[in-house]
Amino acid sequence: MAITRSELRSRVLNRLDGDDVFYSESSRDMMIDHSLRIVNLFSGRMQTSAVVPGGSVSEQYEYDVPAGILLPTAVHFDGEPLKRSPLISHSRAHPRWMNETNQSTRMDTACWIPIGITKFGLWPADFYGGATITVFGIAEPSFTGADDEEFSIGEGDSEAVEEHASHILTAAEAGKVFYDGTVRIFRRSYQKKMLEIQAWQGEIMPFLKIELKVGPE
């Protein structure tokens, strides 16, 4: 499903009593963009791939994740998928991996080693250089701001975007008004949606889990 920016703007406005003076179009756009990014962070739905500029360099083990990728999830070396190997366990298994190349190990490049979300290592390093390294992963969204800009997101994601954008716009009202008006609804509705769409393991919203166990306020 695709939804246009102008449609998202009006849906957000509908949740704000249609007050387009207090909640201007530029304010709504700003919050829509950040909300789209947050929903994508949780769901990982926007995927892309990019090639490392210049390809592999002879005997170099360390590379930057190419622009446009927020989180690398897979790496291909000359079209062949590599195995992901976490830094510490890989270093224990192959203590001299930083020095090892195809030539010294007599092995094809077999693993990629994540170093944070912005860098990765290859093992063994390419001895010859010039290979194509393709990184797949979750895309960092970019927006044009045009009225007819389309977002390919599901209905559930779209509701989460609308809810988050409208909710955070009301933070400008501050204090108890903000808390009573939206925070309670937000916790039950938006955060539940995010728990449903999240692609990651782990306790991202421990406060919500506690509240859900206790029951509605």
Partner 1 sequence: MSVEVSDVYDLVCETLLENGGLQLGILTDDQFLDFLDSVTADFLRKTAIVKDIFTVAATVDVSEYAYPAGIMRAEAAFYDNAYIERSSRAMADLDTERWPRDSSEPETWSEDRQDAQTFSVSPPPPDSGKNITLIGIENVIPSSLDTLSTITEIPKSFTFYLFAGVMNKIRTTDGELKDDFQANYFWNRYMEGVNLAKAIMGELSAEN
Count of beta carbons in the 10 Å neighbourhood of residue 80: 11
> What is the distance between the alpha carbons of residues 116 and 72, in angstroms, rounded to a whole number?
10
Q: Does 183 bind partner 1 (CB under 8 A)?
A: yes
Closest approach of partner 1 to the CB of residue 105, in Å: 14
Based on C-alpha coordinates, what's the Rg of the chain?
22
The strand pair at 47-51 and 133-139 is best described as antiparallel
Which residue in the set 115, 195, 197, 212 belongs to the binding site for partner 1 (CB under 8 A)? 115
How many residues of this chain bind partner 1 (CB under 8 A)?
A: 54
> What is the distance between the alpha carbons of residues 196 and 205, in angstroms, rounded to a whole number?
12
> What is the distance between the alpha carbons of residues 68 and 50, in angstroms, rounded to a whole number?
7
Q: Does 41 bind partner 1 (CB under 8 A)?
A: yes
Count of beta carbons in the 10 Å neighbourhood of residue 151: 21
Closest approach of partner 1 to the CB of residue 154, in Å: 18
Lookup result for tokens 């590379």: 63
> What is the distance between the alpha carbons of residues 25 and 3, in angstroms, rounded to a whole number?
17
The strand pair at 119-123 and 111-115 is best described as antiparallel
Q: Does 214 bind partner 1 (CB under 8 A)?
A: no
Which residue in the set 7, 16, 20, 30 belongs to the binding site for partner 1 (CB under 8 A)? 30
User: Which 49-108 positions form the footprint of partner 1 (CB under 8 A)?
Assistant: 62, 67, 70-72, 83-84, 86-89, 91-92, 95-99
Closest approach of partner 1 to the CB of residue 4, in Å: 21
Cβ pair 170, 24 in contact under 8 A: no
Closest approach of partner 1 to the CB of residue 37, in Å: 4
What's at 26, amino acid-wise? S
Which residue in the set 2, 106, 148, 200 belongs to the binding site for partner 1 (CB under 8 A)? 200
The residue among 146 and 171 lying less far from partner 1, judged by its C-beta, is 171
Kindly state the tokens that stand for 147: 């009225």
The residue among 116 and 216 lying less far from partner 1, judged by its C-beta, is 116
Which residue in the set 21, 79, 142, 148 belongs to the binding site for partner 1 (CB under 8 A)? 142
The contact set with partner 1 (CB under 8 A) reads 27, 30, 34, 37-38, 40-42, 62, 67, 70-72, 83-84, 86-89, 91-92, 95-99, 114-119, 140-142, 168-169, 171-172, 174-176, 178-179, 183, 198, 200-207
